[in-house]
Amino acid sequence: MKDVTVLPDTTVIGGVLSGEIDNQGTLRNVRIRVNTIVKGGTLEGVIHNGGLLQNATLAKGTLIQGGSLAGTVTGNLDNPALIKNAQVLANTVLKNVIIGNGTHLAEGVSISDGVHFEKDDANQ
């Protein structure tokens, strides 16, 4: 899918996204290409991110693998999403997520309630 709007009450399962995606629904188990911007909506499952996720809600147990995040990114308090090998850009607000290995936080990232850091088993 390229340069589309995902309407409310719509779930996209699988596939590859490119261009500008206005997500008003849910994206599940998708791959986001480099130079792609996904704005808003809910993400769930495993998201292979090569682009930019902006102002997203992360469903229970979601894994964001790679890419960049900006705006306000909010997970689930009881089962927070895991962000791995990603870049969190300046002025981003994180809520109810786990910051995993390989994730870099730019200066000015705001860490709110419910944010934890993944434990590295090798260092326990």
> What is the rounded average pLDDT for all residues in the chain?
95
Q: What is the DSSP letter of 11?
A: E
pLDDT at 121: 53
pLDDT at 124: 41
**Which residue stretches of the chain have pLDDT < 70?**
120-124
DSSP, collapsed to helix, strand or coil, labels residue 70 as strand
pTM across the whole model? 0.93
How many Å apart are CA 115 and CA 96, to the nearest integer?
5
Cα distances (angstroms) measured from residue 6 to each of 36, 67, 113: 15, 20, 29
